[in-house]
Amino acid sequence: MSSDKIQYKYNNDHLVVSERNKYGSGDLKSHEMLLNIGPQHPSTHGVLRLEVVTDGEYVVDVVPHLGYLHRCFEKHAEALSYNQIIPYVDRMDYVASMNSEHAYVMGVEKILGIDQDIPKRIEYIRVLVAELNRLASHFVAIGTYAMDIGAYTPFLWMMRDREHILRLLEWTCGARMLYNYIWVGGLYYDLPVGFEERCADFIKYLKPKLIELQQLVVDNTIFIARTANIGVLSLEKAINYGCSGPILRASGLKFDLRKVDGYSVYPELDFEVPVGKGTVGSLGDCWERNNIRVLECWESVKIIEQALTSLTTVHKRTRDFDPQALVPKKIRPKAMDFYSRSENPKGELGFFFRTDPDERSDKPFRLKARGCSFVNLSILSELSRGIMLADLVAVIGSLDMVMGEVDR
């Protein structure tokens, strides 16, 4: 490998060799140029470095370089008990921590064989807070994407409405982003008194705001011109790359784990799975991926309304309800390999558990996280070849990546 593929930097007067580039000057044609976008760049949605080869204004190739936010989650998990891992799970996709907790906790409960014993009120509360967090996650994705394209107002509107959700979630557990609320066997605490009424008021407030969002962003002529027919991902490539979530559904496949696996109380709830139709641009383009997230916000609203109805009627609060009644003090499962997954706002989040053969241990022998952001990022090079450099930002934003889940 030629020396110009190695990046050099000085640290305390010592020369340190950084990550190698894929391309060196000898690999480029006379009219091509190598650009670095990131790792500190507003369009990369986190600490992501993109090695971009350009031919004038056109992109020849894009190579993502990871590891700038690596925190050794999977190695930490080997030294922590199952309960202690939950706060670390929060820090993967930190804008959808409730959803990540739900996925992890369901896996541990299935390993212990107590997943069928969880009271329905607990399950409905889990679905309620997870769907609120799904809304908050999509608001970040939609707002920052509009700002990437050049519209600043939608970002402010989305952050304003997201703030209402963060305050509701803060009311339940004291934290705005990293919750540690969903525990193995139960919850940290029951919903505060009056939470259901205030959440219902928020939903009434939100519905007209989503209509305004549709008019301001999704149907906007300039936004359509910047995103329609850009970054087209065919269904075959989406499946082959292992994409999931809104990215897969925007390419035309009606695949949602809340319907496919039917976990928690989702089979008892009435909601639809939005899929791309290619009505504005092409099936699987950037506009379609953003539109799917907007449509999913409406479905989350429907789920939240149904959960609130159940929590105030059939499964309403009682004096003798204990959200920690089934929470085990020590978790020592039998030796096994087990995979659990759920539908996160960005796609399929899975956890592979290998429990310790020593049944006296309360720590997993191995915990592998299947991050949906990491898998969805793999399609970036495929989508970017041949597009204009200005459209590369539109493609990156449409993938809705959180680098905490990519690097783990």
Mean pLDDT per 10-residue section of the chain, whose length is 408 residues: 49 54 72 83 82 89 87 90 93 91 94 91 95 95 91 92 94 91 92 93 95 92 92 93 93 93 92 91 91 95 95 89 87 90 93 86 91 91 90 90 87
Give yes or no for a contact between 376 and 245, defined as CB atoms under 8 angstroms apart. yes
CA distance linking residue 74 with residue 108, whole number of Å: 16
Burial class (CB in 10 A: 0-12, 13-18, 19+), 32: middle
Query: Does some domain include residue 302?
Result: yes
pLDDT at residue 29 in the model: 76
* pLDDT for res 16: 46
Answer positive or negative: Cα dihedral of 155, 388, 371, 303.
Answer: positive
Query: So what's the pLDDT on residue 25?
Result: 66
Other C-beta atoms lying within 10 Å of the C-beta of residue 20 = 12
Q: Is residue 125 part of a domain?
A: yes
Contact 398, 378 (CB under 8 A): no
Answer whether residue 45 is part of any domain. Answer: no
Q: For the chain, how many structural domains are there in total?
A: 1
pTM for this entry: 0.92
Identify whether 29 is part of a domain. no
Residue 310's domain comprises 73-407
* Residue 101 and residue 179 in contact, taking contact as beta carbons nearer than 8 Å: yes
- Partner residues linked to 354 by β-bridges: 337, 366
Give pLDDT, residue 124: 95
Look at residue 30 and tell me if it is in a domain. no
Place of tokens 């990550």: 19
In a domain, 51, yes or no: no
Q: How far is CA 309 from CA 42, 127, 128, 144, 259, in A?
A: 41, 13, 11, 33, 21
Q: What's the CA gap between 349 and 340, in Å, rounded?
A: 8
**pLDDT confidence of residue 3:** 46
Structure tokens at 371: 């991050």
Q: Are 193 and 318 in contact (CB under 8 A)?
A: no
* Length, in residues, of the chain: 408
pLDDT at 111: 92
CATH at 82: 1.10.645.10
Whether 246 maps to a domain, the answer reads yes
- Identify the DSSP state of 9: E
Q: Is 12 part of any domain? A: no
Structure tokens at 398: 């449409």
Contacts 24+ apart (CB under 8 A), 353-356: 353/107, 353/108, 353/111, 355/111
Where does 103-183 show beta strands of DSSP type E? 182-183
